[in-house]
């Protein structure tokens, strides 16, 4: 098999969050293992080796949604994929260098959220995240799909199916339930906040933040480890990561940049859209910067649900 001609597509849309029941699509770990096996086999008789880029993209989406229980599960799924790469490096005698980082932080999450005006507790409660077995995205879809016969029926469904069963919340109040379906409310944000508050996790934004991100490196040779320490140890500017890969691969990034100059990328910014187009195309769960038709469908479903709630007695 020619590695240069291989393209594996397991689905036409974005990968479901880990906390959505997924019995169909491969995990990130499984995809990584498959890619490593194919690429190593395809290059075993050459001196060129291969370069593999892996993204845990749904970590970012959970951050945009301020969904702490979904985000931690996505991070753990990425950790499994990272371990698979490290295990691969340890299993080969070919020098392998691994770098893991992020292009930005999303959400600005922090622990020890102050819940009252009294002196704050220096604590957070991770068990709350473990108790939540479905993502905020999942439970919001579930709620929006429920055709309640009355407000009493709807409130009972929210209490038993959404809060208790899916989010593991049993200390909710009647006001919590009313807030979820209040006119003008965003049920997705409210459900995620119910979990965040109980875990004492605070969020700064539904967008990207200026929080520093970590750089992790690994190599199966002393030379590789030395290069990682030399180029990426300590505090670094993001551009230095690119310079690191340029140095060890012998690439010329100025030449590559010149080759890309003038390339037209067909993207659409939120600012370039009128209100109707923004509603149809942008449609992010929290108005973030992902242009995904699936988000627009999600928002339309929630809007339909809210209209249904207004008609209940």
Q: Report the binding-site residues.
A: 55, 60, 64, 103-104, 208
Count other Cβ atoms within 10 Å, centred on residue 34: 13
Query: How far apart are alpha carbons 207 and 104 in whole angstroms?
Result: 10
Query: How far apart are alpha carbons 37 and 40 in whole angstroms?
Result: 5
For residue 9 the two structure tokens come to: 């597509």
3-state secondary structure of 304: helix
Query: How far apart are alpha carbons 264 and 270 in whole angstroms?
Result: 18
Instruction: State the binding site for Zn(2+).
Output: 60, 64, 103-104, 208
Which element (helix H / strand E) includes 255? Answer: helix 253-260
Measuring CA to CA, which residue among 227, 240, 243 is closest to residue 96? 227
Instruction: State the binding site for Mg(2+).
Output: 55
In whole angstroms, how far apart are CA 129 and each of 63, 67, 83, 120, 121?
14, 10, 23, 21, 18
State the distance between the two ends of the chain, measured CA to CA, in whole angstroms: 63
């Amino acid at each position: 098999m020619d590695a240069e001609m291989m393209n594996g597509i397991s689905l036409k849309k974005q990968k479901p969050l880990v906390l959505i029941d997924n019995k169909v699509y491969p995990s990130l770990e499984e995809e990584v293992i498959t890619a490593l096996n194919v690429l190593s086999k395809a290059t075993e008789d050459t001196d060129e080796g291969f370069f593999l880029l892996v993204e845990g993209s749904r970590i970012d989406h959970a951050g945009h949604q301020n969904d702490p229980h979904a985000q931690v599960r996505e991070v753990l799924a990425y950790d499994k994929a990272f371990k698979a790469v490290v295990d691969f490096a340890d299993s080969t005698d070919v020098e392998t260098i691994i770098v893991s980082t992020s292009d930005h932080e999303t959400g600005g999450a922090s622990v020890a959220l102050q819940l009252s005006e009294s002196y704050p507790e220096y604590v957070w409660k991770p068990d709350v995240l473990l108790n939540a077995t479905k993502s905020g995205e999942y439970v919001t879809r579930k709620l929006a799909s429920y055709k309640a016969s009355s407000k009493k029926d709807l409130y009972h469904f929210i209490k038993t199916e959404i809060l208790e069963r899916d989010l593991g919340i049993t200390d909710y109040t009647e006001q919590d339930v009313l807030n979820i379906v209040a006119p003008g409310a965003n049920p997705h944000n409210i459900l995620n906040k119910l979990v965040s508050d109980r875990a004492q996790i605070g969020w700064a934004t539904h967008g990207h933040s200026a929080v520093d991100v970590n750089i992790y490196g690994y190599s199966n040779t002393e030379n590789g480890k030395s290069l990682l320490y030399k180029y990426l140890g300590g505090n670094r500017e993001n551009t230095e990561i690119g310079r690191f890969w340029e140095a060890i691969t012998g690439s010329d990034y100025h030449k590559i940049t010149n080759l890309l100059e003038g390339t037209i990328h067909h993207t659409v910014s939120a600012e370039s859209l009128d209100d109707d187009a923004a509603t149809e195309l942008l449609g992010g769960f929290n108005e973030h910067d992902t242009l995904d038709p699936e988000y627009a469908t999600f928002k339309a479903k929630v809007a339909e649900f809210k209209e249904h709630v207004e008609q209940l007695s």
